[in-house]
Each structure stands twice: as structure tokens, then as C-alpha cells.
Amino acid sequence: MTPEAQRVATEALQQRLGYRFTDPALLLRALTHRSVVGQGSYERLEFLGDAFLGYVIGRELYARHPEAAESALTLMRAKLVKKGALAAHAKALELAPALRLGPGEQKSGGHRRDSILADVVEALLGAVLLDGGPEAAEALVLRLYGAQLAESTPEAAQKDPKTQLQEWLQGRGHPLPQYEVEAVLGEDHAQAFVVRCEVAAPPGTFHGEGGSRRSAEQAAAAQALQSLRGARP
């Protein structure tokens, strides 16, 4: 990626985030994969963002569900901050064009890999925390998770994303989603499945990745559910 293309991509990303960095180097670090030779990667920022995200989501759930048991709160938080949910946020933010990947990672489709996309969302949170402080980072978390926090309940947390998506569509008289494996990436001992989820009404195509077909389907369903809930009541 040329410097100008990177500048354009990061400028657009800041607009979608609703946050402008005082220190652009922090933003670039948050977007840089370890496959880029001679550049610091996002991994330390990811560590920071992961911890802060868990705190904010945990605090919000605690305040919103005063009667919920610790086990229910833990399950709700886990569903909100898991890799599939984070990757769905990354796709909604259109992170892929701004990622800095090494040639090999780029060629293997790293910009579509849920694990990388999820890590970068956490790294961006960490970068905002350092750049703008806790209030700015918390505001970003609540912008990303507002709809999900409003709909998260102890009962819903017991159901997997495929079940929730099916119930959401059936409750509105829509056809059931269709799942199809699009690709199998990596070596035999460490494969990653990429699954496409087609929703007929309201129309949409969503993707998920996982170490098995089932986990990839769940990730795709989670992305579809998040998008549909954000678009319609």
C-alpha cells in the first residue's frame, strides 16, 4: 500500500470510528500485523484493548441486569466480546482496506480473516485509550455495542447465534438463512473454514470464519444477527 493510499484509508476509518487520533502513529500501530517486517505490531495494543473492553462491557451488564447471577453476566459478556462478535464490528467498520499486512499474509487473505479483524478492533480500542483517555475509549465501546447491550439478556445468552438468528427471522415471517462453505484456508493441521450466510429478507450476505464448519457458521450467524438488529427493530 502506498503512503497516500494508507492516508486515505486511515482518514476514512477515523470518520467511521467517530474518533480522530492526536497521535497518528498509534493508529498505524493498531493496524499493523506482525507479518510487516521492521514495524511494531498491534499485539500490545490488542492486550490493552481486550482488558478495557471486558471492563466496560462487564460494568454495563452489571448495571443493566441487577438481578442477574454472576454466571449469567459472565456468559453475556463472553458472547459480546468473543472473536466472532469483534470481527463483525470490524466488517461493519470496513477495517480491511486500512490493515497493514505483510506480502504473505496479504496473499493468503489475512484482511478477511476473522481472527485478525477481531484483534485489530481490540488494538484500536487500546490505541484510543492511550490517545484520548478512558472517556474516549468508553464512548467508542458504547457506540459499537449500544444495540447489542440493549438486547442482551440472560435468556438470550443461553442460545447460540444460529438459534437466535433463526428465531429472529421466523418471528418476522422471513425465510431461514442458508449456509455454504466458501473456502478452507491453511494447512491440514490448522485449517480455517470460511462460511457464507445468505439471508433472503431483509437481504444480506454475511461471512464467518472458524476452526470448524460449525464454528464458522456460528460466526457468520453472529455477524448477520448483529447487522440485522442494528438495521431493524
H-state helical runs in the chain: 3-17, 24-30, 43-64, 70-81, 83-92, 103-107, 114-132, 134-151, 154-157, 161-170, 213-231
Buried b / exposed e across 1-36, counting CB within 10 Å, b at 16+? eeeeeeeebbeebeeebebebeeeebbbbbbbbebb
Q: Are residues 177 and 86 in the same domain?
A: no
> Quick one: which of 21, 208, 217, 199 has its CA closest to 124?
21
**pLDDT tens column, 163-215:** 989 989 998 999 999 999 999 988 777 788 999 999 987 888 999 988 899 99
- Check residue 70 and give its pLDDT: 92
Q: CA-to-CA distance for 49 and 45, rounded, in angstroms? A: 6
Choosing from 93, 122, 152, the residue where a domain stops is 152
C-alpha cell belonging to residue 175: 425465510
Residues of the domain holding 204: 162-231
Q: What is the CATH number of the domain that holds 20?
A: 1.10.1520.10
How many structural domains are present in the chain? 2
- Both 97 and 208 in one domain: the answer is no
Q: Are 84 and 198 in a shared domain?
A: no
CATH of the domain at 203: 3.30.160.20
The pLDDT score that the predictor gives to residue 169 is 92
In-domain check, residue 213:
yes
pLDDT digits (tens, 9 = 90+) for 20-30: 999 999 999 99
Q: Is 41 helix (H, G, I), strand (E, B) or coil?
A: coil
For the question of whether the overall pTM of this predicted structure is more than 0.85, the answer is: no
Q: What is the pLDDT of residues 40-57, one digit of tens each?
A: 899 999 999 999 999 999
Q: Are residues 127 and 218 in the same domain?
A: no
Q: How confident is the model at residue 233 (pLDDT cuts 50, 70, 90)?
A: very low
Average pLDDT value for the chain: 91
* Residues 66, 113 within the same domain: yes
Catalytic residue among 60, 105, 119, 122: 122
The answer on 179 and 147 residing in a single domain is no
Same domain, 128 and 220: no
Question: Does residue 223 register a pLDDT over 90?
Answer: no
DSSP designation for 190: G
Helix H, strand E, coil C: the string for 83-109 is HHHHHHHHHHCCCHHHCECCHHHHHCC
Over its C-alpha atoms, the chain yields an Rg (Å, rounded) of 18
Among residues 50, 60, 114, 119, the one annotated as catalytic is 50
**Is 50 a catalytic site residue?**
yes
| Residue 121 and residue 47 share a domain | yes
